[in-house]
Amino acid sequence: MSNLAVATGRVWRVAGPVVVARGLAGVRLANLVRVGEAGLPGEVIKLSGDEATIQVYEETTGIRAGEPVVDTGVPLQVELGPGLLGQIFDGTQRPLTVLAAEGDDPYGNPLIRRGVEVPALDRERIWAFSPSVAVGDRVLEGATLGTVAESVAIEHRILVPPGLGGTVTRVHRGDATVTEPVVWIDDDPVSMLQRWPVRQARPFARLLPPATPLVTGQRVIDVLFPVALGGAATIPGGFGTGKTVLETSLAKWAHVDVVVYVGCGERGNELTEVLEEFPELVDPRTGASLMSRTILIANTSNMPVAAREASIYTGITLAEYYRDQGYHVALMADSTSRWGEALREVSGRLEEMPAEEGYPAYLSTRLAEFYERAGAVQCLDGEREGSVTVVGAVSPAGGDFSEPITQNSLRLAGTFWALDTSLARRRHFPSINWTRSYTLYDLTGWFVEETAPDWEEHRDWALDLLQRESSLLEIVQLLGVDSLAPAQRALLVTGRMLRESFLQQSAFDEIDAYCPLDKQLAMLRVIHRADTAMVAAVERGVAPERLGVLPVLAGVGRMRSWLPDSVDELATDLANRIEKEIEAL
């Protein structure tokens, strides 16, 4: 990896993913080292006298005391450049597709072997570089040197690396591999391949206020609890509440340019599903395959635990890199709990003093370092704007939200989507609980501007009605529905329509999986008009029980399968029929 090797030590102690080496003179904290004869990558996490404690990113089985440990002289870093999109990497950015194709096995090697070193970016691949600077131009850090068509939708911008700047002295045009120089700044060659340490946030000019929503096509999110571009959302939920389905729905349909999906300590089959499904799906906004805007980082639950800890930083560094090119990026981390547990495991092996539930006391600091890398920014060159939105799933033990990872995430994220086990058991999906969830981003202005002025009115009405319904349902549980006044019983009819026909959304239905904003609004209008008509009818003395069984209301349940282009007529027609039938009672 590097010929800057400055010191060689010897393995002294091995316990799980933690190795202690002696004799690594001058090694720096956070440096990448190669452990043992197999050359396993590891990171120095503690120095004490002559002893360097190393977390090893691969299985340590078989390592003996006395094996060599070599310092590489650089911290753990990722490779940046064209060719990242559409790829799947492990936690330390080894390309899994390349690993799978290696070996003399007729089907490649399906198992991940240890100590295999493969560069993240393809060194052979030729890219057509078209420069946007000329000899003699003065360039500053973050400026665009040229572009490469990385995918149909994404023009990859090669930037002046942070900290560099000067006069362009030579320019290459046309075919080049990532390692070949394309622009010379003050006679220093700059190639398309750049490196960045994963634990360091990439610089930008300034933070922008979050004012634009991340449109997701999920009704409960867009209408009730939207997250801002550059914001952060947390999704805690017990097992089986649909965290992963929700994360993949967002990865599929969110209005962003690039998606970085970090499968952190989760199931191998889920990543396989993404790998098989995404290339088949088309991004409705660009017409390109969804896979061509996606980068996958995979550390499945049986892959080495220390690499799990690194995977989240690898992911966010790649996200920041595309942000710096002026793109909107969404980072899905599923699940941050597994990352926290990796931290706990390593901390336990270091025999550190545990804080809450065995997690180290620095858990909240580390989580903050991750979440705070989200943001909408003005890029270094002062011209482009980009954003990284973080959506972190949390898997609380026993589904209990009082545990440390959930609580710390809540302090850091602006949007809270509380997944609810009892909703999930009733197969109400997405199982986002509307009384517990919240969003701190005020994005109503944008929606009013982009859709219609009545967006705000309907949203406020729906939020209010759902809150009132939930307190009424508590009374019904104790005293029965007869204890309610007629108007309250009518409210239950509307509440049920809202829950079953609006909030519920099938991630597996071809039409319903993605609901455009104008369809969301149309559906909401129908339910609101039906409610107004029912309230009027009850005031006239109509029994609420007669309202709930009106056959025309079955049409509300079928709104989800409306095709997007005919929504307005269908909605007006349905609402008219509902009003007519209710008036006829």
Q: Site residues for other proteins, window 221-240 (CB under 8 A)?
A: 238-240
| 15: contact with other proteins by CB under 8 A | yes
Closer to other proteins by CB, 187 or 508: give it. Answer: 508
Measured CA to CA, the distance from residue 397 to residue 249 in angstroms comes to 24
Burial label for 209, CB within 10 Å (0-12, 13-18, 19+), is exposed
- Give which of 446, 517, 449 is closest to 228, Cα–Cα: 446
- Which of 113/170 has CB closer to other proteins? 113
Concatenated DSSP letters of 264-278: ES--HHHHHHHHHHG
Contact 47, 29 (CB under 8 A): yes
Give the number of other CB atoms < 10 A from CB of residue 211: 14
Return the residue of 183, 235, 271, 570 that touches other proteins, per CB under 8 A.
271
Nearest residue to 143 (alpha-carbon basis) of 448, 480, 380? 380
Find the part of the chain contacting other proteins (CB under 8 A) among 78-86, 295-303, 311-319, 464-472: 295-303
When asked if residue 510 is in the footprint of other proteins (CB under 8 A), the reply is no
Stretch that binds other proteins, among 9-17, 160-168, 248-256, 362-370 (CB under 8 A): 9-17
The angle subtended at Cα 218 by Cα 267 and Cα 559, nearest 5°, is 125
Contact 169, 185 (CB under 8 A): yes
Least Å from the CB of residue 341 to other proteins: 6
Contact between 69 and other proteins per CB under 8 A: no
| Choice from 203, 348, 486, 516 touching other proteins (CB under 8 A) | 348
Residue 345: CB minimum distance to other proteins, A:
5
Q: Which is nearer to other proteins, 129 or 339 (CB)?
A: 339
Question: At 412, is the secondary structure helix, strand, or coil?
Answer: helix
Does residue 189 bind other proteins (CB under 8 A)?
no
> Is 368 near other proteins (CB under 8 A)?
no
Dist. CA 542–CA 415, nearest whole Å = 41
305: its two tokens = 């635990």
If binding is defined by CB under 8 A, does position 311 make contact with other proteins? no
Q: Would you count residue 577 as binding other proteins (CB under 8 A)?
A: no
Residue 521 touches other proteins, criterion: CB under 8 A: no
Report 193-212 residues binding other proteins (CB under 8 A). Answer: none
- Of 13, 115, 8, residue with least CA distance to 64: 13
Of the candidate residues 163, 280, 477, 565, the single one contacting other proteins (CB under 8 A): 477
User: Counting contacts by CB under 8 A, is residue 61 touching other proteins?
Assistant: yes
User: For residues 393-432, which are near other proteins according to CB under 8 A?
Assistant: 395, 397-400, 425-427
52 part of the interface to other proteins, by CB under 8 A: no
Binder of other proteins out of 8, 109, 132, 200 (CB under 8 A): 109
Tell me the number of residues near other proteins by CB under 8 A.
Answer: 79
Each residue 540-569 as x (binds other proteins by CB under 8 A) or -, in order, gives -----x---x-x--x--x---x--------
Can residue 181 be called a binding residue for other proteins (CB under 8 A)? Answer: no
Q: Are 534 and 488 in contact (CB under 8 A)?
A: no
Residue 276 CB, shortest distance to other proteins, in Å, is 5
Under 8 Å CB-to-CB from 322, ≥6 apart: which residues? 154, 257, 258, 329, 386
DSSP per-residue codes, 158-205 = EEPPTT--EEEEEE--EEE-TTSEEEEETTEEEES-EEEETTSPPP-S
**Residue 478 interacts with other proteins (CB under 8 A)?**
yes
Q: Which of 2, 117, 173, 272 touches other proteins (CB under 8 A)? A: 272
Look-up: residue for tokens 């650089």? 74
In this complex, which beta carbon is closest to other proteins, that of residue 158 or of residue 298? 298
- Residue 195: strand pairing partners: 79
Binds other proteins (CB under 8 A): choice among 49, 110, 453, 541 = 110
The yes or no reply on residue 60 touching other proteins (CB under 8 A) is yes
